[in-house]
Amino acid sequence: MSMNKVEEFRRYIRVTNIDEIARRYFVMNAFDGALTMLGILVGAFLSGTTDFHVIIAAGMGASIAMGMSGMSGAYMTERAERKRELRELEDAMLLDLDETMHGKAGRFASVFTALVDGVSPALSAFLILSPFILVKYSAIEYWSAYRYSMSITALVLFSLGAYLARISGDSKLFYGGQMVLVGLITAVVIFLIDASPL
């Protein structure tokens, strides 16, 4: 990609303020990806399965579904919002602005947010799933993969919290701890539901 194109994209980001929206999409959807994978891991553990193929297939299926859902949903939502803003500006100025900086920036913002929204849950899910991919290649033992995946989940959740704390200027330890606590509560709830007689 040429430097001119990079600078053009930077201008689009400044015009649309899309970086703030993308940050929110990234954190929310990476969080969704991490908790979804946590649910799959805990569910697989409670079911007693020793087939890593099941976990890999379920994890990959969930991450692809989350990625596609996030990408298409964010694109359509952001596109509708950007079109509305552009039409209001056109009505005020009595001009067609489709091929102006504002029009191009709006289209760029729709694609950019869609990519962030789609990639972030899939990325966190893949990171958490990676120990089971190592099991497939006999790099680690099956039960060790659970420990590694759970550790990666906690690290992903803590990192997302720390990132939010950096934005807000609050305690990274507090925000990161809150995220990890949500993950822990999620796991406990799944355990309790599995143990219930219903």
pLDDT confidence band for 100 (50 / 70 / 90): confident
Q: Of the given ranges (105-109, 127-131, 173-177), which has the lowest mean pLDDT?
A: 105-109
pLDDT confidence band for 2 (50 / 70 / 90): low
**Average pLDDT of the chain to the nearest whole number:** 88
Higher pLDDT, 78 or 120: 120
pLDDT confidence band for 3 (50 / 70 / 90): low
- Burial of 193 per CB tally in 10 Å (0-12, 13-18, 19+): exposed
DSSP 8-state class, residue 2:
-
* pLDDT of amino acid 102: 73
Give the C-alpha separation, 23 to 163, whole Å: 10
Residue 97 pLDDT greater than 80, yes or no = no
Structural tokens at position 59: 């994890």
Segments in 48-100 forming alpha helices (H): 52-93
pLDDT tens digits, one per residue of 39-52: 999 999 999 888 99
Structural tokens at position 76: 């359509």
Residue 162 pLDDT greater than 80, yes or no = yes
Give the C-alpha separation, 13 to 23, whole Å: 12
* pLDDT of amino acid 197: 63
